[in-house]
Structures are given as C-alpha cells and as structure tokens.
Amino acid sequence: MLKTKLGVVTLAVLMFFAYTNVTIVSAEELENETNQMDQVKYEHKAIRPHFNFYYQLLAEKYAPKHVKVWNDVISEREALIKKYRELAKSGKEIGNFYDETWLKVHSDIQKQFLEAVEKRDDQALKNIVPQVIDHQKELNILLKKRLKEIK
C-alpha cells in the first residue's frame, strides 16, 4: 500500500515538472521567435535608407532629370507607409496595396535592372533607372488608393 502511494506521488511530481518544463520551453521559444521577428523588422527598417540612397545615387548618375521625382517618391512613400502602419495597428484589415499587374511589371523591371547593374551597362542603366523610379511612383498611387479604400 505504501509503495502504491509513493508511486502515485512520484508520478504526480514527475508530471508536474514535465508540464512546467514544457511550458517554460514554449515560452522561451515564443520569446525567441518574437525577438527574431523584431530583429527582421529592425533590419528591414535599417536597410531601407541604404536602398533609398543607392537609388538616389543611381538617379543622379543615370537619370539626373528624375532625381527630384525620386526624392518626392521616397518622401511620399514614407508618409504613406506611416499611415498604413497606423491603420494596421488600429486593427484594420489592410491586405496588400499592390495588384498582380503591378507585381508582373515590377518583376520584369527588376530583372532588367539586375542585368544592367550586374553588367555595369551604362546605356541600359540610363534606360532602366527612370523606369524603376516611375514604377515606384505608381506604387505610391496604388498605396494611396488602398488607404482610401481602408478608411
């Protein structure tokens, strides 16, 4: 009888420790995933100024008439993204602000852009950089449209 009671108590203690360890591991995993997501968000936010500067330099070299347009696009984009994030934080269902047509054109332009950059092809860059800037301008238009739909 004593052995049975001791066995039940031991089993209960083992189950208790097993449950608390699983919960702790799960909490640690969740915290680790959250930290990783925060890191990715930070890295994305930190890299954006680098990309913007890179595009500005390309515009200055290959499309000087588009530098002001590029600067305006970026200023407007930052304001639009801020509004977009505010709506997301307020619980609005935001979804994507671009459509399949824009994505298809984006993919084509990016392929041409990558090829021109890899080859360091000045003439190709003079042709594609203005297209990249105009395409980003179109994204701002789509974003503004989506923001109006959400409100």
Which pLDDT does position 21 carry in this prediction? 42
- Could you tell me which residue, 8 or 111, shows the higher pLDDT? 111
Q: Tokens 């002001």 — which residue?
A: 68
Q: Where are the alpha helices (DSSP H) in 63-151?
A: 67-89, 100-119, 122-150
Residue 139 has pLDDT above 90, yes or no: yes
96 touches 140 (CB < 8 A) = no
**Region 80-104: what's the mean pLDDT?**
86
Q: How confident is the model at residue 44 (pLDDT cuts 50, 70, 90)?
A: low
Q: What DSSP string describes 40-75?
A: HHHHHHHHHHHHHHHHHHHHHHH-GGGHHHHHHHHH
Q: How confident is the model at residue 65 (pLDDT cuts 50, 70, 90)?
A: very high
Within a 10 A sphere around the Cβ of 29, how many other Cβ atoms? Answer: 10
pTM score, whole prediction: 0.68
129 touches 58 (CB < 8 A) = yes
Q: Residue 97 and residue 84: Cα distance in Å, rounded? A: 9
